[in-house]
Amino acid sequence: MDLEYVKQVGIGAAFKSGKILLSYLGNLSSIEKKGTIDLVTKADIESEKAIVDIINYRFPDHSILAEESGMSYSNPDFKWIIDPLDGTTNFAYNLGVFAVSIAFELKGEIVVGVVLNPCTGELFTAIKEQGAHLNSHPINVSAHKTVSDSLLVTGFPYNFTDNFTDIMTRFENCLKASMGVRRLGSAALDLCFVACGRFTGFWEQNLNPWDTAAGVLIAHEAGAHITDFSNNPFDINKKEILTTNHKIHKEMINLLKIG
Ligand code: IPD
Ligand code: CA
Ligand code: CA
């Protein structure tokens, strides 16, 4: 299969969707709620439709998992995983930290990832075993050897009250041990920022496959190590993710331990 072509289709869809998102930024007439603090906007829906239409046109027999419309089943060997707007809360508050995330899975393995921040024009891409790129330049994880030298990033799930104590304990441990912890509000960008060395580590719990599918390939291809909090291999259906530059992984596993 021509993965370069698949990537180009993903990039085209991401830019089309990015244009739609920008047309709504600061210009939303209504915002709906999926949960108490889980928002969905017209921009999410239209952005997703634009991506799905492009994929269906180019690859009519491919399956698609998209956040807002769910799963559309076709050939199971070819599956696209889409978050049309990762960072909806930021978007709804006119904060330019959000992304379009598009991944392609071939026979159960993610082989192409595309993440675009429409506000900055930063485009992160990866093809399996071909490295990761930011605006066509190769990127790599940071070289920091210790957590104390590292800037970290995390996120809080919408249902954070269900796990509040564990989430806060992990946050406190990492904050005390590191150079600082940021909470940007877009898991796809968090992963890409580990990939290009801005952050040395990222952890979060309760993410969904569309939040991480593209970003984990980009991070992996940039040299990141990705596991759950118990150091078991990560897959996009798992509810815990720890992504680091390898060098601080063991230290982070210890900081994320509860009890
Ligand atoms: C959210 C973002 C956020 C993370 C949430 C996700 P959405 O995605 O990735 O950083 O903390 O858990 O649900 O809802 O904006 O697509
Ligand atoms: Ca998301
Ligand atoms: Ca989303």
Distances (CA, A) of 131 to 6, 80, 127, 141, 220: 16, 20, 7, 11, 8
Q: Which helix (H) or strand (E) holds 60?
A: none
Q: How far is the CA of 63 from the centre of ligand 1 (A)?
A: 23
Angle at which helices 187-195 and 209-221 cross, to 10°:
0
Q: How far is the CA of 232 from the centre of ligand 1 (A)?
A: 23
**Every domain of the chain and the residues it spans:** 3-138, 147-256
User: Which of 86, 208, 238 for mutating ligand 1's site (highest number of atoms within 8 Å of CB)?
Assistant: 86
Q: Which atom of ligand 1 is nearest to the CA of 208?
A: 13
In the block, tokens 């009250």 appear at: 161
Which residue's CA lies nearest to atom 16 of ligand 1?
Answer: 86
CATH class given for the domain over 147-256 = alpha beta
Rg (CA), the chain: 17
Task: With a cut of 70, say whether residue 133 has pLDDT above it.
Answer: yes
What pLDDT shows up at residue 90?
Answer: 96
Exposure string of 71-99, with b = 16+ CB inside 10 Å and e = fewer, is eeeeeeebbbbbbbbbbbbbbbeeeebbb
What pLDDT shows up at residue 140?
Answer: 98
Task: With a cut of 70, say whether residue 37 has pLDDT above it.
Answer: no
User: Rounded distance, CA 22 to CA 116, Å?
Assistant: 12
Q: What is the pLDDT of residues 47-64, one digit of tens each?
A: 999 999 999 999 999 999
Q: How far is the CA of 35 from the centre of ligand 1 (A)?
A: 13
Give the confidence band of 171 by pLDDT, cuts at 50, 70, 90: very high
What pLDDT shows up at residue 35?
Answer: 76
Q: How far is the CA of 67 from the centre of ligand 3 (A)?
A: 6
**Ligand 1 residue neighbourhood (C-beta within 6 Å):** 83, 86-88, 155-157, 185-187, 204, 207, 211
Task: With a cut of 70, say whether residue 39 has pLDDT above it.
Answer: no
Which residue's CA lies nearest to atom 11 of ligand 1?
Answer: 155
User: Rounded distance, CA 85 to CA 117, Å?
Assistant: 10
Q: What is the pLDDT of residues 3-28, one digit of tens each?
A: 999 999 999 999 999 999 999 999 87
Mean pLDDT of 158-167: 90
In percent, how much of the chain has pLDDT > 90?
88
In percent, how much of the chain has pLDDT > 70?
98
User: Phi, psi at residue 150, to the nearest 5°?
Assistant: -100, 140
What pairing do the DSSP bridges indicate for beta strands 240-244 and 225-227?
antiparallel
What pLDDT shows up at residue 36?
Answer: 75
Sign of CA dihedral 11, 13, 16, 17: negative
Mean pLDDT of 232-241: 96
On average, the pLDDT of the chain sits at 95
Mean pLDDT of 29-55: 85
Task: With a cut of 90, say whether residue 229 has pLDDT above it.
Answer: yes
- Topology of domain 3-138, per CATH? Fructose-1,6-Bisphosphatase; Chain A, domain 1 (3.30.540)
